[in-house]
Structure 1
Amino acid sequence: MRFTNENIKDPNYPRPVRTMETLQIVSVQVKEITGGLQWPLDVYGFVAVRDVMDRKCNIVFNRQREDCQSINEQDSCLKLTGPTRGVVMTVDPSYLEARLKVRGATESEDKDLSKFVKTYRLGCYLPIKHTGKLCTLELQHYTVSSSVEATIQVRVAEGQFPRGFRGVLTASTDSESGVMISLLDFNERELPVDAGGSVKLSRQVVCVKKGGKLKVSVWQHGVGEEEDQEITAASFAAMEAETSTNHMPMKICKCWMEVTVAWSLFSYW
């Protein structure tokens, strides 16, 4: 949302800003464990990307040893907290870095689960994955051409979110129909909101093709073999700047959620 409130249409605007091709990270999954490891695993460490926009780490996953994530064979995806801005792809190399550990009974018994740095660049359409001594780490992704950056904010505008609700808040785009990006898992915990009703999302940033659409949805998990059900949604047309707001009524309770999206172009400068 770097240029959301800037007057980018001013011919004297000092920075060149434009749409760019971006890498949209969907999930990071631990697969094919070996070396005597057994499920479940308590995982900590970080996964990050670096691109030509900023060589600083753009954190995708980050956990300390005392706050590790427990994963199992049925659900081995890491709970992502980023990236915190759009990941730009150019002909110049960018980098995916991972340093993950498995927690043992004591710190001296911890093991390096996955540790590597890989390069990727424009035209990288194959799966991004790394197979090490103990596991394969696979990054599910897609590329978005001529994209803008969308930063999503959600607020409980009216009523109270239902306690014990099991589901997920997702984002999707019309260019990748059926691909859901998890913004927040509910999982029966109390909704993380501040005094003003703003919801603390796990992830906020999604890249959308110029002229495309963004959809933010609330899904309720099915019971047993029942499929998940979309119970409310809000749609947005992609913009180059400014913000757009829409509402999601929760029909299962007297609750209205307000979704605001801050739009921004990209710049090398």
Structure 2
Amino acid sequence: MEAVDLETKRAGDNQLHDLEKAAGDEVVSGGDAKRPRKGNDGYHAMELDDEDEEEVGPHECFEMYRKEWILMYGKNDAASFYKPTGLRPMRHTDGPLLPSFAIHMDAMEVFFVKVARLTGGLQWPLDVYGDVADSLLELTGPSRAVVLLDEPIFEIDLKVKCEGSSSSSEDKVLCLDYFGYNNIAYHGTSSYAITEEVSSESCAMEFRFTHLKRCVEATITAHITSESGSFSARFTARTTSIGEDVVLLDSQGREVAVAEDGEVMLQRHVVVVEEQGELVLGMEAMLLGGDAAESTGVSQKLSYYARSALRSIAYFEIGSIRIKMLVAWSLLH
């Protein structure tokens, strides 16, 4: 997930190194789920109380974490822990007037989640929700901007299907854990990226995300507006302040799925951009099924300046195929 010209808001390489180090110090393990208490005092106390007891494993820790979240925020409804948010994107895209409570806010962007190392005798490919042939896991969310009000929590619950097993009870735990990012402790004015690693008995997971300052939400859709055809493609999005890509879709050489109405079926739609920032969409594509001359790959980029509302449109072209890239802008609250 890589490069374009950077117009960074950071002072330089040394300052960036310091920022990343500080950010790493602010990532905490434990705490109330999804909305942790400041300082995570409850979980530290719980761990100390149990020191003289039998050692608590990852299953027990995750279950305590889940139950406390359900008790505090889920109204004792166990299913609420797994329910997606009911809030949708594009809440303030269309006027005629924007509400006074809709503003620019700090937000999180997740670049990737990957299995950095395998241990415990596991080898590639893994059968995790279908075959995972390499370390990078495909992300399909979030469905709206992740606003940094309370401290966000990452939850990891991955299992590997063991060869010859006939039931889920025989699956091997790849990683079962959670960690939080203490955004409240960061008072800087620059956006910055963070890498966090979580280790288990079977693997080490790597998470790459960023804290973006004073953002708007950008919801991206793609539609074919001219004659259709088969093509493979990789669509990406990035801000010029952080030189890393969010992968919207990577067909990995296979034909891109297109709906009957011409919509390109992106896996991710929502990103965030600083209020004075610039969104850059990228496409690397190749026509399929034609002669060698038509199979030449194309690489294109589109730039959009951030807006507080309404929509921006630009076009990619692959041979005779024209793809409308529409960005719907919205303030946050």
TM-score range, shorter chain: 0.7 to 0.9
C-alpha contact 2:157 2:176 (8 A) present in aligned 1: yes
Q: Distance in 1 between matches of 2:146 and 2:178?
A: 16
TM-score (norm 2): 0.63
Residue 139 of structure 1, aligned match among 181, 203, 207: 207
Aligned to 2:173, what secondary structure does the other structure show?
strand
Where does 1:41-80 land on structure 2 (aligned, <5 Å)?
41-44=126-129, 68=130, 70-72=131-133, 75-80=134-139
Structure 2 alignment gaps of length 5 or more: 1-89, 187-191, 287-296
Q: Deviations over 1:139-185 (max 9, x none)?
A: 1111210111100000011122444x3x41111111113x1111111
User: 1:199–1:39: structure 2 CA closer, same or farther, 3 Å change rule?
Assistant: same
Q: Which residue of 2 aligns with 1:117?
A: 178
Deviation at 1:125, TM superposition (A): 5.7
Corresponding position of 1:82: 141
Question: In the aligned structure 2, how far is the partner of 1:241 from the partner of 1:79?
Answer: 29
**d(CA) in 1 for partners of 2:124 and 2:256?**
29
Question: Which residue of the partner structure matches residue 161 of structure 2?
Answer: 103
Q: Which has the larger share of helix?
A: 2
Cα distance in 2 between the residues matched to 1:145 and 1:133: 36
Deviation at 1:117, TM superposition (A): 2.0
- Name the count of aligned residue pairs: 225
Show the counterpart of 1:149: 217
Distance 2:321 2:275 in 1: 32
Please name the residue that 1:93 is paired with.
151
Amino acid at match of 2:176: K
For 1:186 and 1:7, locate their aligned partners in 2 and report how far apart those are by CA, in whole Å.
38
Identity of matched residues, %: 33
Instruction: Please tell me whether residue 23 in structure 1 is matched to residue 108 in structure 2.
Output: yes
Q: CA RMSD in A?
A: 2.1
Query: Whose radius of gyration is greater, 1 or 2?
Result: 2
Alpha-carbon contact 1:161-1:191 (below 8 Å) kept: no
Unaligned runs of 5+ residues in structure 1 are 45-67, 222-228
Q: One-letter code of the match for 2:156?
A: A
Contact 1:89 1:121 in 2 (8 A): no
The AA in structure 2 aligned to 1:34 is T
Which of 207, 232, 238 is 1:172 aligned to? 238
From the superposition, tell whether residues 218 and 119 of structure 1 become closer, same or farther in structure 2 (CA, over 3 Å).
Answer: same
Q: Decide whether the 8 Å contact of 1:114 with 1:134 is kept in 2.
A: yes
Cα-to-partner distance string for 1:85-128 (whole Å, 9 max, x where unaligned): 111223x3221111111012322431111111212121396422
Offset, 1:247: 1.2
